[in-house]
Amino acid sequence: MPATPAHTTTKPTEAAGAAPSTPPPGGSTPHLSRTTAEPPAEAVTPLVRGIAVLRRLTEAGGTLSPSALERATGLARSTVDRITATLARMGYVRLDGRDVVLTPRLMELGNAYLAALRLPALLDARADALADELDESVSLAVGDRDGIRFIHQATRRRAMSLSFRIGDLLPAERTAPGPLFATEWTDEDWRRWHERRAADPEDRGFPAVPPRPHTTDDFERRTADAAREGWALDDQLIEPGLVAVSVPVRDPATGRIACVANVVSHTSRHTAEDLRATLLPRLRETVAAMERDLATAPPPPQGPPPADLATWTAASKQELGRDFVESLARGLTVLTAFEESRAALTLTEVAKATGLARATARRSLITYEHLGLVRHCPDTRTFTLTPRVLSLGFPPLSRTSLPRIAQPHLEDLAAQVQESASLAILTPSAEEIQYTARAVTHNIMSVDITVGTRLPAHVTALGRVLLADPSSPTAQAGYALADEELEEGLRALAVPVRDRTGRTVAAANLAMHAARHTRESCVEHLLPALRRTAALIEADLHVASRFTHVPLT
């Protein structure tokens, strides 16, 4: 379940770069002040607006109507339409009836940050193992200005409490990791924190948490304690029942905090004090192992640098004309130039990877720096992504599932070929298949199957694909055709859906009345369309599952 506070708040609306004259309702929130401040003269306005649209969609849980977007951003309707058309062309949103909906593909931006950071790749497995061992949630968080942002969640939450998503931002002072990060804050950081607290006493600028119920101002004392002890507690600072204990994971090269590891529980199982007494020792051992892993990690594998990532945009401009905002598309491509082995890039490297002119790449980077998405290091003259990149879609999209990923693609296919399309998985016994997603057409002869229906695996095309031994003829053909076996007059065609490792995790099919297509016409006309659909589902699955667990049901 997404972390939806059980209350309604008025979310602060950042001026979308369009209209500084429309102040956010309820006053401005200083932690957002970088984005509400006047952009520098060189900033790319369409990029500022496009980012505002993505962030409003993210805060809304992934879906908004164009008119709601208009209200949330303060942009004109025609601008909203051109921005969403451009984002749709990039595959970052889809236009679903009257709504604009974020797509899994957008996670490639957050993936670029997480890959460049390297911590998830190096530490996730230890966090997951600790969660399994303790049977409690374990998370990893990084500092994000005066907040903390999650980069990993191994969730085991049975009680009715909020569970946070990768990319969620929490106010530092209401968490256990917060005081640990604050041990490294500068005077400027503290000043900014005081300012934000004064301007936003109820934490309305943090949509992932319920409003602050009371004012506790012991954050400075908790920070001093954290500095002395090397750990910190959250005793129900976010909501009643939620407790956490945290330990910093230090970068062996610099000694600074790379991230903070948290064990999260509920007072029905552990009081905060009890967490410290019983689980802190195990958390510390895990953190020590994580620090050893960081110290001995080999440098990231060096692939060939990307080139010309942004050159496709000119063709789209040709095709779509005014509806395609090329400067937005080019600007967004800049974020995808960052990767595991390419965490800090010079302007020249960004220009080369994207194929953009230096001046264009530079203006995009200046825009991102203004928006707090990119940091410039003057010493090395390089740019790096900040945790805030995760605010571009990651929290809602990180809670997706394979059926949800597949649904729009199955609907497109069903509409295109006018036959029902489905997704299924093998049940644990491997004797049955179970339907997990379905898009039906309104043919009179359509088959009476719904999500959840189970059928014997061996008589269905879906089952044969799922059961296929990699060396079997069906597997080599890459599809299965089942003819009138399950039911007289029913014909079905199925293909595999594979995960990032190439393992078949599901199958997609088209089912029809035999009279509508001969066997030959199935293979000739329907198979290519079904294969394209499976490829689209796989592409989304591969992006979404790079740093998050995507359930198959």
Contacts to ligand PHB by CB under 6 A:
137, 139, 164, 175-177, 234, 238, 244, 262, 264
| C-beta separation of 248 from 262 below 8 A | no
Q: Is the dihedral of CA 251, 256, 258, 264 positive or negative?
A: positive
Residues 248-261, buried b or exposed e (16+ Cβ, 10 A)? Answer: bbbeeeeeebbbbb
| C-beta separation of 345 from 383 below 8 A | yes
Nearest approach in angstroms of CB 1 to ligand PHB is 13
Nearest approach in angstroms of CB 545 to ligand PHB is 20
CB nearer to ligand PHB: give 214 or 503.
214
Given the structure tokens 């198959």, which residue do they identify? Answer: 552
CB nearer to ligand PHB: give 107 or 244.
244
What whole-number distance in Å separates Cα of residue 371 and Cα of residue 72? 17
> Which of 499, 496, 497, 498 lies closest to 549 in space, CA to CA?
499
Nearest approach in angstroms of CB 230 to ligand PHB is 16
CB nearer to ligand PHB: give 69 or 263.
263
CB nearer to ligand PHB: give 35 or 175.
175
Residue 11 DSSP SS3: coil
CB nearer to ligand PHB: give 399 or 438.
399
> Within 13 Å of residue 227, how many CA atoms lie on the same side as its CB?
10
CB nearer to ligand PHB: give 248 or 496.
248
- Cα maximum dimension of the chain: 77
CB nearer to ligand PHB: give 176 or 397.
176
CB nearer to ligand PHB: give 157 or 362.
157
What whole-number distance in Å separates Cα of residue 169 and Cα of residue 55? 13
What whole-number distance in Å separates Cα of residue 276 and Cα of residue 324? 55
Nearest approach in angstroms of CB 151 to ligand PHB is 11
What whole-number distance in Å separates Cα of residue 34 and Cα of residue 347? 22
> E-assigned strands of 432-503?
432-439, 454-456, 480-483, 490-498
Nearest approach in angstroms of CB 143 to ligand PHB is 13
Nearest approach in angstroms of CB 169 to ligand PHB is 12
CB nearer to ligand PHB: give 239 or 293.
239
Instruction: For the sheet with 432-439, list strands across it.
Output: 454-456, 432-439, 420-426, 504-513, 490-498, 480-483
Nearest approach in angstroms of CB 166 to ligand PHB is 10
Instruction: Please give the backbone phi and psi of residue 202, each rounded to the nearest 5 degrees, phi first.
Output: -100, 5
Nearest approach in angstroms of CB 211 to ligand PHB is 16
What whole-number distance in Å separates Cα of residue 208 and Cα of residue 390? 13
Type of residue at 206: F
Nearest approach in angstroms of CB 233 to ligand PHB is 8
